[in-house]
Amino acid sequence: MGASAESGAATPPRLGVIVVAAYALPQFSQSLIHGPVGGIIQGIYAREFGLPLAAIATVLLIAGIADAFLNPLVGYASDRHRQSGGSRKPWIFAGTLLCMAASWFLFVPSPPVTATYFLVWLLLAYLGWALVEVPHAAWMPEITRQYDERTRLATWRAVCAYLGVTTFMALPYLPFLPSATFTAESLRWTAIVALIALPAFALAALLLVPAGFAANPGGTAGPRLEWRGVLRNRPLRVFAVAFLLYQLAPGVLNGVLFFYIVTHLGQEKLLAGLLLMTVVAGMASVPAWGWLCRKIGKHRAWAVACVMGAVLIPCFALVPPGPQGTVPLIIIQLGVVISFAIFPVAAPAVLADVIDYARLRYGADYGGSYFAIYNVFYKSLANVGAAAALGAIGMAGFDARTASQPEAATTALLIVFCGIPALLLALAVPLIWRFPIDARRQGIIARRLASRDASNARPIIR
């Protein structure tokens, strides 16, 4: 019996495939334009446009700090707009227009390129992303209150996200480009594809997906009540601790992955192909994780994935250096990436249930604020994990400039890469497995919200 069967009373019909797909499509274009900023664009600005590394580092630091403020501000403002009877759609529309302009000028700069130019368009890109991504994520629990339907929406959204990343990584292999590497020309084609995908997919979502029921008119709370809705929400606190432990793990792994593969294993030629292979594998596994979430509950499926990762990651320590380690490295890396592929399916859907709990208990819609905090910590925890990992191996004497490392440095690398992420995942398992909102409890919350909203006779907003 699936998790949905536990929710009790009769539920509304399933969302149509067109509605689900239309909701998910904007995530493709957002992931596509995020691809270069993840680590490619700074290299192109330095190598092909002559921007000094110090200037690039300053720009990235300023933009990162600004992003940490932009997401919560957009979340708060979109929540207030919704509580007054509006919808998430105008925010997505405005953000899409800004993303189109910022992506073009950021990815196709006209020389001479200055640090100021880079900073201005990167900041505008971050603002555009926040205007789209925070309301788009907060929109999910407003489209449906059904436990399994939210998992379905999150599954399609995750597949579109992987497709966007895969498209960006595959663009350098276009036959008419001079080389299969990331260059200014491949960045230009990313911008061209984005100018087509951004408006097309945003319009599909805005026209085909219902805006959702208006927020409870009693839910216009002041800042003090809003903070109480955040700090005193027990399911949110459990989610936050589990999220912290879980998200630090891939941060640590990715922080030293390059040095593990290139320096320790001597497999530099394998790195690019391995990364592309694992992105495809992660995307292919998303529907299976979505099925398991519906079968046993999304929090328990997430816990199973944590156990899978905690078991597989220490196996990296058994991979022998050199060509003889190629096959086991690929097998273990594929398994680890597949274990992490559940995150964009389970985590947003679980948070959607937490948002419903907050609405029921505190009478206010915190969807935008919750997902804004989610976005900030999703990015920052990965960076914190990577920084901590690099600092740890550096203190042990690891030197990235040399191929031969002291025994203590190699030991530290293996402990950090193979031990710390597994421990973090293991610590997260009991929190996620015993998460307080399961399908049955979410069904009770949904029915009470439906009854309260029906008594208010608020129409569906457009």
Nearest Cα to 277, choosing from 421, 194, 170?
170
Average pLDDT over residues 301-313: 96
Res 275 pLDDT > 80: no
Strand partners, 224: none
Distance from CA of residue 319 to its chain's centroid?
Answer: 29
Distances (CA, A) of 424 to 8, 33, 235: 35, 30, 20
Quick one: pLDDT at residue 174? Answer: 83
Res 95 pLDDT > 80: yes
**pLDDT per position as a tens digit, 162-181:** 899 888 888 888 888 777 67
Quick one: pLDDT at residue 50? Answer: 83
How many CA atoms, within 13 angstroms, populate the side-chain half-sphere of residue 26? 33
Res 219 pLDDT > 90: no
Q: Are 160 and 28 in contact (CB under 8 A)?
A: yes
pTM reported for the whole predicted model: 0.76
**pLDDT per position as a tens digit, 26-51:** 999 999 998 787 667 877 888 788 88
Q: How far apart are CA 194 and CA 31, in angstroms?
A: 10
**Please, which pLDDT band fits residue 230 given cuts at 50, 70 and 90?**
low
Strand partners, 213: 460
Q: How far apart are CA 119 and CA 45, in angstroms?
A: 12
Distances (CA, A) of 109 to 122, 357, 387: 12, 46, 30
Please state the φ and ψ torsions of residue 213, each to the nearest 5 degrees.
-75, 145
**pLDDT per position as a tens digit, 413-449:** 899 999 999 999 999 999 999 999 988 888 888 888 8
Quick one: pLDDT at residue 319? Answer: 92
Quick one: pLDDT at residue 337? Answer: 93
**Which helix (H) or strand (E) covers residue 243, if one does?**
helix 234-258
Which tokens belong to 27?
A: 């995530």
Q: What's 63-98 look like in SS3?
A: HHHHHHHHHHHHHHHHHHHHHCCCCCHHHHHHHHHH
Q: How far apart are CA 153 and CA 230, in angstroms?
A: 24
**Please, which pLDDT band fits residue 9 given cuts at 50, 70 and 90?**
very low
Strand partners, 460: 213
**pLDDT per position as a tens digit, 102-154:** 999 999 998 788 999 999 999 999 999 999 999 998 898 888 888 888 889 99
Strand partners, 359: none
Q: Are 280 and 163 in contact (CB under 8 A)?
A: no
**pLDDT per position as a tens digit, 360-380:** 887 777 788 888 888 888 877
Average pLDDT over residues 7-17: 64
Q: Are 191 and 34 in contact (CB under 8 A)?
A: no
Q: How far apart are CA 56 and CA 42, in angstroms?
A: 7
Q: How far apart are CA 377 and CA 372, in angstroms?
A: 9
Res 221 pLDDT > 50: no
How many CA atoms, within 13 angstroms, populate the side-chain half-sphere of residue 361? 18
**Please, which pLDDT band fits residue 3 given cuts at 50, 70 and 90?**
very low
Q: How far apart are CA 95 and CA 198, in angstroms?
A: 10
Nearest Cα to 201, choosing from 74, 93, 91?
93
- What type of residue is 457? A
